[in-house]
Chains A and B, each alone.
Chain A
């Protein structure tokens, strides 16, 4: 993957790799607060069933994951742990910030113990707004992320804007 990161892989090969990455996203479930239950509904319930999108929500550790859903309030006590677990994930990695709390503090915007925005700690690829977002909203965020992965060029990976589900 070193060649791909440098952008030196020929186009057809990159496209092939992107398709395989798109349909085998291993997602690490980061249940922090209320949103964790909606994430659980999206991942574990038969009604929403995220596996049909090629997303596998079963890695036991961040070292096996391609994507992390940070769902819920990140407190100042939790923030170093979030950063540490993010750093344990192998590249290329994607972060979905789920819910108002993870974006900006949400209803706790004036609380003394809540980190106002997980994007202060880790780079965020997709914002899924809501308090908490419905499982459908999370699924849309995942689908949009997959579309981006399908046409991804590793050289501009760190320069583009995040996706906002609306």
Chain B
């Protein structure tokens, strides 16, 4: 006769054996699922090959290059003022922000500095393009999780921001407004008051999103604790922007970078969230839109007077040398490494774009996730295809 512990042990062994038999009977085969290249959850033409075991992801491989347009090679045959036309189109939602680091790098090589007024207006437009970019994320995040309303709100209020950008630059989408040594033009009359009104609308939009989406139970259930990225893993993969701040790393190049923008003239805060899940990345971006509104409001109050263009030669020849400038773009850190040989065209332009590094974490973060969570994780990582493939 066996005692209790022995009986427990035997029962355990029997249960294990029966489990094993069941597993043999219902042995499942892996399934390969193709997300994309044309799929609503991939924001364009990203293809993610997902190997599944039931509902669980065993392995996910992002396939890039469906939008590769060869920016780095094209930049070698365009003159410096022409390059901004191209790089506008890398991150097409926050176009103006793409021009800034390239122009700053070229200015550093030419040893020109933009006048203070140009730097302030640059910063205002930089933050306006951040708002135009990120509020579409806030709407899109809802769409990915099944709520269609937020995207209508986002598109509605984004139009007002685009109107303000268009009023200054003439370009609704791709401004191409930044010049080496300053800006093409000054801001029009009455623009500051109108922009203040638009910022009020954006603040209302943020409040609406808090009411509609943030507290929603379904939204919380599908984002809280999903796709957790610890800070050290995120740093190892080179995440930047709100993705790394959502993991609790207090790092923002607008504050820490020391590049020639007017962010150090105003009072603002870098938002972080300790959780590192999908929800925290969403939440950090929501706060960043609010913070950008505050930055613009303060800047509008004190734009210095003076010219918007420094003295630069008509035909721009950049002296030989190398410069690397990176700024905190809406999607994360964007940097340009410009090598000049004293010619009309750059010898080499290396573009470090944020989404390319951000997407590199997908194999790590998607492993072990469930299929519906793939969409939520991809949406919260927030990439733009032009920014990945360039």
Contacts and interface: CB of A to CB of B under 8 A. Distances in A.
Interface of A: 30-34, 36-38, 40-41, 44-47, 60, 73, 75, 77-78, 81, 85, 107-108, 110-114, 131-132, 134
Nearest to B43: A31
Contacts of A134: 172
Given A33-B386, A134-B172, A110 B77 contact: yes
B155 A46 contact: yes
Given A33-B386, A34-B92, A107-B89, A78 B45 contact: yes
Given A34-B174, A38-B173, A44-B151, 10 more contacts: A32-B67, A33-B89, A33-B92, A37-B136, A44-B152, A45-B159, A46-B156, A81-B37, A108-B69, A114-B70
B159 A41 contact: yes
Contacts of B156: 45-47
B385 interface: yes
A44 B159 CA distance: 12
B77 A34 contact: no
B61 to A, nearest CB: 16
A166 to B, nearest CB: 19
B93 A78 contact: no
Contact of B66 (A34, A40, A77, A132): A77
A37 B68 contact: no
A41 B174 CA distance: 15
Nearest to A78: B66
A67 to B, nearest CB: 16
Contacts of A31: 43-44
B341 interface: no
Given A33-B386, A34-B173, A81-B38, A113 B151 contact: no
Interface string B360-387: 0000000000000000000000000110
Nearest to B173: A132
Interface in B8-58: 37-38, 40, 43-45
B92 A37 contact: yes
A107 B386 contact: no
A107 B85 contact: yes
Contact of B44 (A33, A108, A132): A33
Contacts of A75: 65-69
A51 to B, nearest CB: 12
A134 B65 CA distance: 27
A77 B65 contact: yes
- 4 nearest interchain CB pairs? A45-B155, A34-B92, A111-B70, A78-B66
A40 B148 CA distance: 13
10 contacts: A30-B38, A32-B67, A34-B89, A34-B174, A40-B155, A41-B159, A44-B152, A44-B155, A108-B70, A131-B174
Most buried by B among A47, A107, A132: A107
Interface string B185-206: 0000000000000000000000
Nearest to A42: B155
B316 interface: no
A136 to B, nearest CB: 11
Nearest to A46: B156
B93 A37 contact: yes
Contacts of A44: 151-152, 155
A111 B159 contact: no
Given A37-B92, A44-B151, A85 B38 contact: yes
A110 B73 CA distance: 10
Contacts of B38: 30, 81, 85
Contacts of A33: 44, 67, 89, 92, 385-386
A73 B37 CA distance: 14
A41 B135 CA distance: 13
B74 A111 contact: yes
B209 to A, nearest CB: 16
Contacts of A108: 69-70, 74
Contact of A107 (B40, B66, B86): B86
Contact of B69 (A45, A47, A111, A132): A111
A85 B174 CA distance: 29
Contacts of B74: 108, 110-111
A60 B43 CA distance: 14
Interface string B126-168: 0000000000100000000000000110011011000000000
